[in-house]
Amino acid sequence: MGQCEDQMQRQALFDLALLFVVVDGVVDESEVTFMKNWLDSIPWSNPTSKEDYYQTTLSKCRHATENDGVEDFINHRANQLIDKEMKEQALKLANDISSADGEVDDAERKAIELLTTALG
């Protein structure tokens, strides 16, 4: 697989993970730290800096959750995940992030269902 496809999948995976941080309406500092550390650890071949990408994606995630756009957000990113391993990682991250606070609320549950369907 080419470097562009790899970067596209990494970004889609990050976008989805960050969505699951904000989808319940509560962003915990430990979640922010986790996401920033994870972003720092992955290879990056995008001209946009990681910090700028994080901030832009966070804004898009909030917009999606506040404007009934979660399904479209999930579908768009899920379509960019090509590798089976990336799809599996997306579902694992969604479940892990959603249950990190000890409770999976309705918004998180619905988003997990949407992601599961979108990934086929």
pLDDT given at position 108: 94
Q: How many CB atoms lie within 10 A of CB 9?
A: 21
pLDDT in tens, 86-98: 999 999 999 988 8
d(CA 58, CA 28): 13
Nearest residue to 65 via CA among 28, 23, 27: 23
Per-residue tokens: 72: 């479209």
* Each residue's pLDDT tens digit, 34-76: 888 888 888 989 999 999 999 999 999 999 999 999 999 999 9
pTM: 0.91
